[in-house]
Structure 1
Amino acid sequence: MEEDKIAAVEITISKMLRIGVVLSATVIIIGLIMFLITGKSGYCGNTYPTTVGEIFSGLLQFKSYGIIMTGLLLLIVTPIFRVGVSIIVFMKEKDYMYVKITATVFIILILSFAMGKVG
């Protein structure tokens, strides 16, 4: 019975990772195709989006580089989402030791991104 629970957790986590990678690859390919067809990034000169807000703005305006950057952001967020899903799965399993460990990892990931943004 315990092996079935572990297998179910592993399957859930692997599905989340697969979905994230496929989604980000699809978005990147769409942006790359747009760039190859138009030959333009959608931005003037050597300016490119440097914040999440600018990237999403470029996505909404169908700028090829903004779309590519959105795909890259999705790829970066996928493992973080996986850790969040793991916390939920472990809570449902009532495995509180792993909830604490995974929550600690989640906090460290969020803090590292926040510190990288500041620094």
Structure 2
Amino acid sequence: MNYADFAGAFKTATSLPIAYLSWHGHPPSFPYCLLLQIPSDDQYADDRNYLKVANVQLEFYSQLKDSRTQSKIESFFDANDVAYEYQGDTYLDSEQMQMAVYQIQLIKE
């Protein structure tokens, strides 16, 4: 699954705005998500990449802790066989917002 396919299915299922890396201009009102690529975890054999695994960080931003929406995000991962690891919540004092971080893996076809 590539980023565009993932983002489209995610937005349809969760109704959350989602973008890669940053919003052009101002972000939408809360809640919303960002995707960031972190180092890949490709599998190699016979001098080539035979399985491309994109490690991705999904950041969920909200005004306050939003367990209901986080459950919706996790349900989307489960329903679409997306392996994920919840990294926890951070309050961004300078931005006056909550950030929940998930690490996921997308297998590129």
If the length of structure 2 is used for normalisation, what is the TM-score?
0.31
Question: Which structure has the greater CA radius of gyration?
Answer: 1
If the length of structure 1 is used for normalisation, what is the TM-score?
0.29
Structure having the higher strand fraction is 2
Structure having the higher helix fraction is 1
